Amino acid sequence: MDLGFQEIIIENAKTHMLTDIYKNVKIQTELNLNVKKTNDKVYNAYRFPFSYKTINNVIKNIAIQLLSFTHSSESGIKKIRNRIREEERKTLYYNKSKETLKKHKPAFVFCTNQRISLAIAPILAAQDLNIPTATFIFSWDNLPKGTMVVETDYYFVWSHHMKKELLYYYPYIKDEQIIITGTPQFENHFQVKHVINKELFFKQNGLDIEKKYICYSGDDQTTSPYDPNYLLDLIEVVKGLNEKGRRLGIIFRRCPVDFSDRFDVILQENKDIVTAIVPKWDKVGEGWNTILPTPEDSILQMNIVAHTEFVVNLGSSMVFDYAAHTKPCAYINYNPEIQNNNWSVEKIYDFVHFRSMPADAVVWLNAPDEIAAKIELMLSDDAQRVVANAQDWFKKINQHPAEDASQRIWDGIVEICKK
């Protein structure tokens, strides 16, 4: 993806062979301590199951479990954090990072995701050269998960709420290290110059100008393994409403990191109801974190929101995208008839980040036979009470004015560089 900026690539970037083990030990021990500190077992739900498919996996996972058992204390976590830094400073990648920084002399090093192990060595190199560093907390649900891998001089967060979370989960971070900026991911909704005329948007995407459209926003396979079931339920309800005189359609926007074929048959068999509009993201690598949004996709997403009546999904932050347009969101809140015993909607909505939600900030779809009535609600003025609550939630989760997040980030960088 070419954004018009000069790129300096450090070749053969590779973490130390032990870093991944220590990173996972750190995650497990942090979750252990969170359970003890809060007496809340929800933190166990953030753990991924261990894989024992190969002998290497067996050895690695036994090591992680043993070290997690012996280091589940504040002093134990401190030792693991120190080991990560020690091992990364031994790598060729660290030395190359240091050479690159010495050569180009940046005033500041910014990591846009606190979860990436490959960022540890360059951040350490910058700190060892007395170059100030910062990271951005990537998503609204990240901090309770124990996913903090990168340790920097400063932390850019979405809101006062996220700042409190950061101080709670990582007590070694000080108040003065945290800068509240909001997140740029919602800024596009306030750039009204990019809203395309409805007739043109419908024509470009093969939509029926006589229909009102519902957006079905897909999740990744881990979060919502039964997304196709839920989409099919929505399709059946829309068919029934159309038979009664409604003229409704569905726009399907898949999760940009979901490249599965799990929706293909449903989309093919229901072309009269559902139109898939593919996100315009660039895949620049193999990992989920190398699938990057483009400016074109920001405009596309904004226009999908602008030209649909409401969104249906399972617990995603799309509730805030629609709140920015004063439109409602419906959260799916029932389990499919056939399901995996390791997954349930109850587990999803028990996650810590949903505890910030005001009452009635979304329309809850508690069963398939509720969907028709809830659609009628969201198409009426009665939905505005729900929208108002969603906007209050949006203000709690993301610093407002939401459209000024990038400017606040830039101002924060400038202030850091002045010190």
* Residue 5 covered by a domain: no
Tell me, yes or no, whether 1 lies in a domain. no
Are both 215 and 306 inside the same structural domain? Answer: yes
- Asked if 249 and 380 sit in the same domain, the reply is yes
Does 106 fall in a domain? yes
Q: Is the domain of 278 the same as that of 147?
A: no
Range of the domain at 71: 19-183+404-418
Please list the alpha-helical segments (H only) found in 245-353: 264-269, 295-306, 318-323, 345-349
Q: Are residues 276 and 168 in the same domain?
A: no
The answer for residues whose C-beta is within 8 angstroms of residue 308's C-beta and 6 or more apart is 213, 214, 215, 251, 327
Q: How many domains does the chain have?
A: 2
Query: What is the pLDDT at residue 291?
Result: 62
* 198 and 61 fall within a common domain: no
Q: Is there a single domain that holds both residue 237 and residue 372? A: yes
Identify the pLDDT of residue 51.
Answer: 81
Give the integer Cα–Cα distance in Å for 138 and 89.
25
Q: Is residue 163 part of a domain?
A: yes
Q: Is residue 13 part of a domain?
A: no
Residues pairing with 281 in the sheet: 293
In this structure, are 311 and 233 located in the same domain?
Answer: yes
- Same domain for 155 and 198, yes or no, is no
Do 210 and 177 lie in one domain? The reply is no
Helix (H) or strand (E) holding 76: helix 74-88
Rounded CA gap, 240 and 234, in Å? 10
pLDDT of 122 reads 97
Which residue stretches of the chain have pLDDT < 50? Answer: 1, 288
Extended strands (E) in 76-198:
109-111, 133-136, 154-157, 178-180
279 preceded by cis ω (within 30°)?
Answer: no
Question: Could you report the per-residue pLDDT of 344-391, keeping only the tens digit for each?
Answer: 999 999 999 999 999 899 999 999 999 999 999 999 999 999 999 999
Q: What is the CA radius of gyration of the chain?
A: 23
The span from the CA of 146 to the CA of 181, in Å, is 22
Do 240 and 318 share a structural domain? yes
Q: Residue 305 is part of a domain; what is its CATH number?
A: 3.40.50.2000
Q: Same domain for 299 and 342?
A: yes
Please check whether residue 12 lies inside any domain of the structure. Answer: no
Task: Clarify whether residues 242 and 138 are in a common domain.
Answer: no
**In a domain? residue 251:** yes
* Residue 167 included in any domain: yes
CA distance 207 to 210: 9
pLDDT of residue 337: 85
Measured distance CA(87)–CA(16) in Å, rounded: 6
